[in-house]
Structure 1
């Protein structure tokens, strides 16, 4: 005969078993790193209409001259430059163009391009990921690299201009890894962190600052094998 206490314990045990079966696969997936590509590091972009695409070369030149004349007039109180700018504004207005609106659109496009180059993908922040790339050493300890930039292509920041800031990951790895030279290919597993920084990259004939949008808390750095 099963008493009430035994029955309650049996039902509780069944509940725990059912709950564990339902949750365990999800927990297992959560602990596995998600393999990502470099394209996913960029934030979602907002498509902004570009009003300059339909302007003539002459109209574009007039806009550039207005900017130059008005900037000069503001600096030196140049009446002649101000008059030139007003004349160009009048000419563009006769063409049906809103000069101030175009300048506002210019700023919006510049800001969007800046965000696309430096912003982070918030969905990746705090996520455990696995990402392939190339090691650009920053600091050695003995024969091992303990601090480096992970970059998407060979030659980045050295033989070619730096990639956008959100296409570079700053990594501090106290355990260190041995490399065969610049741009050793690796897989890196760790937690993505949104952390803006400027790192100094050394060249044979000098050094240069490189802007970075991400850092990673690495759990594992391993040779790339395909």
Structure 2
């Protein structure tokens, strides 16, 4: 039997993510620097406000640097880290593609396929997609259900055995706030 931790592709899980190493205070300071730099570029506020913002910006940048955080280097890594995080969340383990697996999880409802075939998502924890944010795509399995079976209730625990296809797709799912890609 497979476990959920086995599904994400391990080859894209391990990467340098300097944002992960920041303390909550450092992360807040990085966000503060980004906001203050944005205000500075927009030339918003009065001369007095801009002077105060510049002082706060210098103080915050100096404090980050004193703590070992090079803010410019960190901000230059944003897009690379975002892309690696996206890959880590989306990529499934290729060795399972086409294999018959067994996995236990919870059924989350999904709109039927255009051909009327009932569909659901198998997710690792009860409440995912409706009461908490959906898991990363590598932790969601889109299941085409038999026409004569539907879950008895939302988030019914089940054990599924079937052939898995590792193929990223984009479908709308129902989450607490409405449809989400």
Question: TM-score by structure 1 length?
Answer: 0.57
Aligned partners of 2:89 and 2:137 also within 8 Å: yes
| Unaligned runs of at least 5 residues, structure 2 | none
Report 1:128-143 matches (<5 A): 128-139=100-111
C-alpha distance in structure 2 between counterparts of 1:84 and 1:114, whole Å = 36
Between the two proteins, the alignment pairs up a number of residues equal to 170
| CA shift in 2, pair 1:168/1:176, >3 Å | farther
| Residue equivalent to 1:39 | 5
Q: Counterpart of 1:87 in 2: which secondary structure? A: helix
Matched, 1:173 2:125: no
* Higher RCO structure, 1 or 2 (CA under 8 Å, sep 6+): 2
Deviation beyond 6 Å, 4+ runs, structure 1: none
| CA shift in 2, pair 1:62/1:195, >3 Å | closer
| CA shift in 2, pair 1:168/1:99, >3 Å | same
Matched, 1:150 2:122: yes
Higher CA-based Rg: 1
1:52 offset after TM fit, Å?
Answer: 7.2
Aligned partners of 2:94 and 2:166 also within 8 Å: no
CA shift digits 1:176-208 (9 cap, x unpaired): 4243222331313113231231323276xx733
1:101 offset after TM fit, Å?
Answer: 1.4
Report 1:1-226 matches (<5 A): 35-44=1-10, 45-48=13-16, 50=18, 53=21, 57=25, 62-74=29-41, 76-78=42-44, 80=50, 83-84=54-55, 87-88=58-59, 91-92=62-63, 95=66, 97-139=69-111, 146-173=118-145, 175-184=147-156, 185-201=158-174, 207-209=178-180, 211=181
RMSD, aligned α-carbons = 3.8
Aligned partners of 1:151 and 1:167 also within 8 Å: yes
Q: Counterpart of 2:178 in 1: which secondary structure? A: strand
Structure with the higher strand share, 1 or 2: 1
